Amino acid sequence: MHHNRITLRLQRDEKLLIAYYMPEFPVSGATLPVLEALEESGADIIELGMPFSDPIGDGPVIQDAAHTAIKNGVTIKRLLELVRIARQGEGCRKITAPILLMGYCNPIIAYGIDRFLQDAALAGVDGLLIPDFPPEEAALFLQKAKDLGLTVVFLVSPVTPPERIELIDSLSTDFSYCLAVNATTGTSKLSDASTEAAVDEYLKRVRLHARKKFVVGFGIRDRERVEHMWSLADGAVVGTALLQHIAPASTPAESARLAREFWNALR
């Protein structure tokens, strides 16, 4: 069993800035250079998307990125191979940042749950975030993941009642992931003042009922919003805005340059 980098990172008790990146986007060969750029620019955890043809929680930017990733050959097997190569430093600087895989149940079930967990741990994955996996049905999966040293993260939403926040908090290994708003990724709802006040109240409610740390994602696009989320939560996740910034790149090197530029501006 490997030492879980997420668990170790959270012990430092600093606010987290988490990057969401879709592998092999916007061009084939971009993954390793972008991972290097994000790590060098100070991404505390890197969340890698597992592309799926029907990503129900994602807005158009991440949906398009997923289709590009699939077109560029990203399967679960290929994604795990990319993580392994990144960890070994084959053709890139050795990536040491914690890596969390985010994706939906179907591809994992098709791959084989036990095989997926074992292969993910062997590749150097640290954690899993599966939005359509009900926490109430997770006991066996959680135990298997824990036995392999993998963190499992569950989602909290603005309509999650207090007792369920407590359940999700108890089941999440190291931290929970709060959706800032009930919307798909990349939402512009956060720019609305009344929504912002509601988000603040909601995150204060989570703080009252969660004993573990929690991070916030969906619609966080700039330094100002990151700092605001840090005042209410333990971390902020930025994905859609990163993908939008690197989308114009036509080479892996340009993808990495744009990723570095964007992440440095957030920091």
Distances in Å between the Cα of 123 and the Cα atoms of 72, 148, 212 are 20, 12, 27
* Cβ neighbours, 10 Å, residue 116: 22
Catalytic residue from among 39, 58, 126, 169: 58
47 annotated active-site: yes
Q: Calculate the dihedral angle through the C-alpha atoms of 167, 169, 172, 177, rounding to the nearest 10 degrees.
A: 120
Catalytic residue from among 47, 119, 126, 234: 47
* Cβ neighbours, 10 Å, residue 114: 11
Token output for 261: 């530029």
CB-count burial class (<10 Å; 0-12, 13-18, 19+) for 159:
exposed
Instruction: Please list the active-site residues.
Output: 47, 58
